[in-house]
Structure 1
Amino acid sequence: MDTDVELSTGTGPMEIEEPTLTTNQMEPPRIHRLDQTVVNRIAAGEVVQRPVSAVKELVENSLDADSTSISVVVKDGGLKLIQVSDDGHGIPYEDLPILCERHTTSKLSKFEDLQSVKSMGFRGEALASMTYVGHVTVTTITKGQLHGYRYWKTQFGDSNLRIIHEFEESSQLLMYRSSIRQRRNPRETADLTSIQELVKDIDSNFHSGLLDIIGHCTYIGMADDVFALLQHSTHLYLANVVNLSKELMYQQVLRRFSHFNVIQLSEPSPLQELLMLALKEEDLDPEVNENEGLKEKIAEMNADLLKQKTEMLEEYFGIYIEPNGNLSRIPVILDQYTPDMDRVPEFVLCLGNDVDWDEEKNCFQTIAAAIGNFYAMHPPLLPNPSGNGLQCYKRRVLSCSPGGGSETAEDEFDHELLLEAENAWAQREWSIQHILFPSMRLFLKPPTSMATNGTFVQVASLEKLYKIFERC
């Protein structure tokens, strides 16, 4: 039976003396469509009410995957980390791009399948819900495969990994090499004398005081676009995260030499086009094309040089350039971290221009420095939407008055670009807190130069503040 529903608003036929209303009272609240992020988070609250709900959903997924062994690790009651590992059948590579989308499931395909569902879950909402309130990482391998895959999606939404082509559409998908090398002894190339000397330089020239600060500091937050505020003992410091991340990445490149997992770009990008982009970005006046021919020649020469070095770049640094000149793989320096892909053109140009290809030690050092600069946690290229940077996202729009009068110009925000910027800056700050600083505690040996080059600046000492208060 069909049912008609009628909604009445306002008053009925009775005559009621209307009170004097203010402007705000006379205008009823407008109905508007909720932003999709709000909708998603409301939906997430229906599925994942507490951390234990997430654990339940993940364990049920493991059971549905025919697992015989399941391990669960939680930190701070599940607020910091929930990790579930199992020996189930795994997830095929082809299914990973839609893994965390709503209503995607392997348990059923049509409504009639509900009559015979035997799995513990079937709606396809659990993982999607978790991505709206946290960061989800999935590492998987299926039977008979030499490569595993790591997929992650953040609560900030889709990451923009675009350089000419769109490398990753909705989130980062990492393709991992087998940890067991089939072709050679895994230590064979890492024993090169030049690499040993560079690592020895790091281990013998670090600042013990800064090492203690990094190892035992508490991250407070970002003070501005470059400096983070740290507390160590009774002191407060400003720390330059760009310098710190650049040095950490450089050291990790040398320590992981020839043993890199790799990020597979879903659409390889031509070196020639990347180099042209980088050269144009260096122009003070991009509208002037009088040096276009020279740029094309420089790009062609650098592309040819890098194609000649592709075997060494792949074997030692995990950088693969296809025979046709397309960049298709870059190394993993820190797990769960993908560099800002907008900086790939600059990175490729740096490999062509700044590397000393003639002497082995200098060659490895300059390549490691170029990779370190590329992977460093620079501020995003889009202006920071906080504070004055918000004005950069306004655009002038012409509109006509309702009566068909003259046009008027109004400023309004480019909401799509603003959302992209907010996500990029939020993702960077999350990476600094949850990836950079934990990794620095484990791996970074801060060089002595960082004590004097402004990387660390002490801004307060609680002992001195206490003395001031005592005098007051």
Structure 2
Amino acid sequence: MGNEMELNPSPDSSKIKKTPTQTDALGRIRALSQDVVNKIAAGEIIVAPVHALKELLENSVDAGSTSLEIIAKDGGLKLLQISDNGHGINRDDLPILCERFTTSKLKAFEDLTSIATYGFRGEALASISHIAHLSIITRTKESSCAYKAQYADGKLVPAKPGQSADPKPAAGQIGTRITVEDLFYNIPTRRRAFRSGSEEYAKILDMVGRYAVHCEGVAFSCKKQGDSSMGIFVPVNASTIDRIRQIHGSSVANELVEVKVSSDRWGFTASGWVSNANYSVKRTTLLLFINHRSVESSAIKKAFEQIYTIFLPKGGHPFIYLSLEIDPQRVDVNVHPTKREVNFLNEDEIIETICDEIRGGLTKVDTSRTFLTQSLLPGVSIPTIPLTPSKDSQPSTPQRDPRTTQKSTTQKSNSQRPYENALVRTDSRVRKITSMLPPTTRPSNEANGEESQPLKDIEYEYSDKEHVSCRLTTIRELRAAVRDEMHSALTDVFASHTFVGIVDARKRIAAIQGGVKLYLVDYGMLCNEYFYQLGLTDFGNFGSIRFNPVLNLTELLTVAAEQEKAVTGEDALDWDEVVTLVRDQLMGRRNMLEEYFALEISEEGELLSIPLMMKGYTPSLAKLPQFLLRLGPKVNWSSEKECFHTFLVELAAFYVPEPLPPESVLGQMQGEEDAEEHGELAARRKHVLRALENVIFPALKARLVATKGLLKGVVEVADLKGLYRVFERC
């Protein structure tokens, strides 16, 4: 057989020529060139733009940054830039910054057992420099200027041929800006593997969103280059709940349960937020951090999904954010090139302990479920359900949402009656709650069959004063302070609320509806915050309430002093001197008060006007003397920022509607003097109640930024779904 093969060779085999050099080359082992080694290592660590960003994010957080700005172009392939305000990089360290295995966080291999920082192996910047054009601008706190350096293949390179490669002085703030351009420019096969820049940018947003949720105390922003809108923006002082709301939406942020568990036996501490049974999506969202590093764990994810199978409908999945801190000696973080996976001891026991805590938390809150109904589009008429339909009237069919028209044509023509528990009052004009009260308990204007109309009994004159754009730094800082204290969920409630009615005018309590929930609110507290914010937004552009005849400033202050003396009983205090001091303070600052606050005082000490903050509502002038007297001791006249802040606080307090006596008290007044007082109080009560419904609460809906302090003045008293469940069982 062997001879046969030799005598009759195949046609193709006669054409093959094997050279000794090729055989030897395939059979010998040789060391790869350093350039090939570095590119292979870079390909293992930087698989996609999002991996480069993750390494840079971790380095910036390690540098003590409180603000991170990310800009991307073409999904990070053309440009990926991250700027931070951390401690910066020392100029002497720049030459070896991009060499492999250079780090400030390890000295010996044993340090890996106690590592608690992010980028510790010194490979990220080195890998990036081998597959992209890398430039860095950095400045430390001690340096008088910033330094700019450019890198290629781990080494410093000149910006232009013929120039020195040493770092050059440049303008820059304290911190570091790293710019990565043309990622994978020298690996065309890897570059062609990316399908679209939009897909890569979505991965970048996901990664930034993960660290934005976890890194409390750090501001994050991310956008496309040249795009004015932010893909992600999280302020520095946002809480974890607010960060989740900013990234993942209010629907999940409103349905979260806090989880906290620790074990000395297994050496771990876990904290986070998980969605309750009212929230469900098609795919599990798991934000998992182990020792503050974003990682993935199929075992943890599978265990969590198993818990929710008994709480969510079929096909439903949860949202989970979990920060797991494990004793560093129990963790091996050096098992994956991108550090995406970690190994740790007692994994099953730790997972089971966390699952027990989540299961217990979900069981506690699983007392009721919330089912959302689809809201109507603007312009669609609102269905009304008459309580006592007439005989000749036919049941009306609610109009369908235009978005469901096409779908409904394939169904049966007869429409089903909506469930009662899905009927939500969405417009206060449909029917008033006071119409359900007996006639004796209704407000006088409604008992007579009159509806509350917008206020028309106040006349206004328009001046030719032009709007002034306020550029004072102090006012901008005060406005920013309000935004920093914003409570997003409460702001959403007021922005979409429906005014129900005044519950108690003496205690200043009103009822509003937000979605399917009923709230009692302290409208005195709300008005105080709103008028303060209004003072900041309209600063320098107030209208004016002019007095005719003019009022004597000294007499007003004297009246306030006598009232204060009667209330406090301070006889030892020289009240005449107090009046003189306050008058001198106001007279000495007449120009500033008139320019900024429309509080006009003549040279003769006559009060000509006070600020007009809202059309359709006039503050109680009975509070005017006290307001003027408090401007002396309560306003800090020595500091510009504090002066504006304290003055606007007092102005807001002056504008807050005063507590009103009930009509039953007014009805008990007798005699001529009482009759006159009754008329004044009744007129004032009518004015305030009409203004609250028609002017103030609509203004709160349009402009109020609800701060965290307002949580004390808002109480949820009913939920439509919960009430329906109760009555359904009766």
TM over 0.5, yes or no?
A: yes
Which of 466, 472, 477 is the matching residue for 1:180?
Answer: 466
SS at match of 1:352: coil
User: Is residue 219 of structure 1 aligned with residue 499 of structure 2?
Assistant: yes
* Distance change in 2, residues 1:289/1:252 (3 Å): closer
Q: Indicate the structure whose relative CO is greater, using CA pairs within 8 Å and at least 6 residues apart.
A: 1
Find the aligned partners of 2:463 and 2:482 in 1 and give their Cα distance. 28
User: Is residue 280 of structure 1 aligned with residue 566 of structure 2?
Assistant: no
* Distance change in 2, residues 1:285/1:461 (3 Å): closer
2:136 corresponding residue in structure 1? none
Contact 1:263 1:329 in 2 (8 A): yes
Give the TM-score taking structure 1 as reference length. 0.56
* Distance change in 2, residues 1:465/1:280 (3 Å): same
1:433 corresponding residue in structure 2? 693
1:309 corresponding residue in structure 2? 589
Deviation sequence 1:215-268 (CA, Å, 0-9, x none): 111111111020001111221111111111111111111111111221211122
Find the aligned partners of 2:527 and 2:689 in 1 and give their Cα distance. 13
* Distance change in 2, residues 1:134/1:227 (3 Å): closer
- Where does 1:344-423 land on structure 2 (aligned, <5 Å)? 344-380=624-660, 384-388=661-665, 390-391=667-668, 393-395=669-671, 414-423=674-683
Find the aligned partners of 2:529 and 2:677 in 1 and give their Cα distance. 31
SS at match of 2:687: helix
1:427: how far off? 1.0
* Distance change in 2, residues 1:441/1:351 (3 Å): same
Find the aligned partners of 1:359 and 1:457 in 2 and give their Cα distance. 37
1:304: how far off? 0.7
Identity within the alignment, %: 29
Which of 576, 601, 607 is the matching residue for 1:327?
Answer: 607
Contact 2:520 2:717 in 1 (8 A): yes
* Distance change in 2, residues 1:179/1:441 (3 Å): farther
2:539 corresponding residue in structure 1? 257
Which of the two has higher C-alpha Rg? 2
Find the aligned partners of 1:136 and 1:459 in 2 and give their Cα distance. 29
Contact 2:499 2:511 in 1 (8 A): yes
Find the aligned partners of 1:467 and 1:223 in 2 and give their Cα distance. 25
Find the aligned partners of 2:655 and 2:535 in 1 and give their Cα distance. 10
Contact 2:544 2:598 in 1 (8 A): yes
Which of 272, 296, 305 is the matching residue for 2:576?
Answer: 296
Find the aligned partners of 1:320 and 1:135 in 2 and give their Cα distance. 33
* Distance change in 2, residues 1:305/1:236 (3 Å): same
1:27 corresponding residue in structure 2? none
1:388: how far off? 4.2
Amino acid of the residue matched to residue 248 of structure 1? Y
Find the aligned partners of 1:297 and 1:346 in 2 and give their Cα distance. 16
* Distance change in 2, residues 1:310/1:432 (3 Å): same
Query: 5+ unaligned residues in a row in structure 2: which ranges?
Result: 1-427, 430-449
1:234 corresponding residue in structure 2? 516
Amino acid of the residue matched to residue 333 of structure 1? M
* Distance change in 2, residues 1:224/1:133 (3 Å): closer
Find the aligned partners of 1:436 and 1:212 in 2 and give their Cα distance. 17
SS at match of 1:223: strand
Find the aligned partners of 1:176 and 1:320 in 2 and give their Cα distance. 17
Contact 2:619 2:656 in 1 (8 A): yes
1:283: how far off? 3.0
Amino acid of the residue matched to residue 268 of structure 1? V
1:58 corresponding residue in structure 2? none
SS at match of 2:636: coil
Find the aligned partners of 2:511 and 2:585 in 1 and give their Cα distance. 43
1:173: how far off? 4.5
1:456 corresponding residue in structure 2? 714
Query: 5+ unaligned residues in a row in structure 1: which ranges?
Result: 1-75, 78-131, 138-151, 154-171, 396-411
* Distance change in 2, residues 1:309/1:217 (3 Å): same
Find the aligned partners of 1:208 and 1:133 in 2 and give their Cα distance. 34
Contact 2:453 2:694 in 1 (8 A): no
2:550 corresponding residue in structure 1? 268
1:447: how far off? 0.8
1:285: how far off? 6.3
State the number of aligned residues.
283
Find the aligned partners of 1:261 and 1:320 in 2 and give their Cα distance. 11
1:468 corresponding residue in structure 2? 726
Find the aligned partners of 2:639 and 2:462 in 1 and give their Cα distance. 31
Contact 2:517 2:716 in 1 (8 A): yes
Deviation sequence 1:60-117 (CA, Å, 0-9, x none): xxxxxxxxxxxxxxxx99xxxxxxxxxxxxxxxxxxxxxxxxxxxxxxxxxxxxxxxx
1:470: how far off? 2.4
Amino acid of the residue matched to residue 461 of structure 1? D
Find the aligned partners of 1:324 and 1:413 in 2 and give their Cα distance. 35
1:367: how far off? 0.6
- RMSD over aligned Cα atoms: 2.9
* Distance change in 2, residues 1:350/1:173 (3 Å): farther
SS at match of 1:445: coil
- Where does 1:81-92 land on structure 2 (aligned, <5 Å)? none
Contact 2:535 2:613 in 1 (8 A): yes
Find the aligned partners of 2:543 and 2:533 in 1 and give their Cα distance. 16
SS at match of 1:331: strand
Contact 2:594 2:600 in 1 (8 A): yes
Amino acid of the residue matched to residue 262 of structure 1? S
Find the aligned partners of 2:454 and 2:698 in 1 and give their Cα distance. 18
* Distance change in 2, residues 1:290/1:194 (3 Å): closer
Contact 1:176 1:263 in 2 (8 A): no
Contact 1:264 1:328 in 2 (8 A): yes
Deviation sequence 1:325-374 (CA, Å, 0-9, x none): 11111112112222111110011012112000111111100011111111
Contact 2:452 2:690 in 1 (8 A): no
